Structure 1
Amino acid sequence: MNHNSPCFGGFGDPNEINYCAPLKQLIDEHPSLLAKMAEFNQMVQAFEADDTITDWNNAIDQLHEKLSIFIAELEPHSDREEDVLFEMMVKYIGREGGPIAVMEYEHNTAKLNLKEFMDKVAFIKENEKTITKEEAFDLFRHLKIVYLTLTDHFMKEENILFPMAEKTLSDEEKEELAIQFKKIA
């Protein structure tokens, strides 16, 4: 990101900010989540490029397993942001039309596509349905949206929202953030 752009907001270089523990925790959770997303995205790309696949159920089962692990890690991270950080930031920057609105929209987009993928796979398994290539590609579409949305989302958090939170929140609010984060497993 161009740190001189008007979109950056003048919070300084995000890499040089001394973040409070809760914000540092959110930042530190991103690499593992990004690695898991890269892994399922690479699997999707490999499956799409492989003209020899005849068992699409196996491909979807492999992705379902990866996504289950990813979701288990993503959910508490998302809860800490939505239920605690975003709510604290709303009183300073509002919810409509600003960074919080964007963050919530992206969370909702990712969650909706993860749910669509998981629900469709559950239906397929329950009904012992054989998946066609076209159906598999439709399922892949949900994962591509998740990957693109959250990859960009994490960058926005690290370059805009988290620096803004570090500068804006009081020491007392940062302590409350830490207390609330501990309640979310």
Structure 2
Amino acid sequence: MKYHLLSKEELIMNHNSPCFGGFGNPKEINYCAPLQQLIDEHPSLLAKMAEFNQLVLSYESSNSVEDWNDAINNLHLKITAFIEELEPHSDREEDILFEMMVKYIGREGGPIAVMEYEHNTAKLNLKEFMDKVESIKNEKKIITKDEALTIFRHLKIVYMTLTDHFMKEENILFPMAEQMLSDDEKIELSNKFAQLV
């Protein structure tokens, strides 16, 4: 396989492309209120994800867990609280922000396609976890460690997907939206966010 070494001009061009986050330092951008709201919602979601991921890791490495149903129930409580906070956040992005950005950058093969794929991956794995826990409770099934660890994989996927996803939003998608949306569209975004509360 041959490798193409990038010239200085190509490196500069790539650095300035939207996919390289060429909007300056995202932390220095003065975002409109609705975009800032989405950014401000991330720390709490990240904290909840870190908490459930840490719990999964501690269960995986533990040799002292006697009741794996109890372990699953502990995680179920945390995931229920996480989903309650995640759903309105992702609704604001999917139903409003992404749809406004599609007019400019399309849906296929670009950042919106990636964002929607990652949303779907997280939602699917959260649903799989919740469905399996529901089934265990309904059947009053006693769970083994191996069964529990298989179920926990869904949460590890959610953690990895959304941790990376939030970083992409903050470094690429939100700066892109701030630059591309008109003042009127930003007002419309704000109004539509308010209607979702």
- TM-score of Structure 1 vs Structure 2, range by shorter chain: over 0.9
Higher radius of gyration, 1 or 2: 2
Q: Give the Cα–Cα distance (whole angstroms) in 2 for the partners of residues 78 and 154 of structure 1.
A: 11
* Equivalences for residues 1-185 of structure 1 within 5 A: 4=15, 6=17, 7-185=19-197
Unaligned runs of 5+ in 2: 1-13
Structure 1 residue runs of 5 or longer lacking an equivalent are none
Deviation, structure 1 residue 176: 0.5
1:60 Cα deviation after fit: 0.3
Which amino acid in 2 is paired with 1:156?
K
Counterpart of 1:80, as a letter, is: R
* TM-score normalized by the length of structure 1: 0.96
Alpha-carbon distance in 2 for matches of 1:71, 1:123:
19
Percentage identity across paired residues of the two chains: 74
Flag as ranges the 4+ runs of structure 1 deviating above 2 A. Answer: 3-7
SS of the residue corresponding to residue 96 of structure 1 reads coil
Question: What is the deviation of 1:4?
Answer: 3.7
* 8 Å Cα contact 2:26-2:170 kept in structure 1: yes
C-alpha contact 2:21 2:171 (8 A) present in aligned 1 = no
Counterpart of 1:178, as a letter, is: S
CA RMSD of aligned residues (A): 1.2
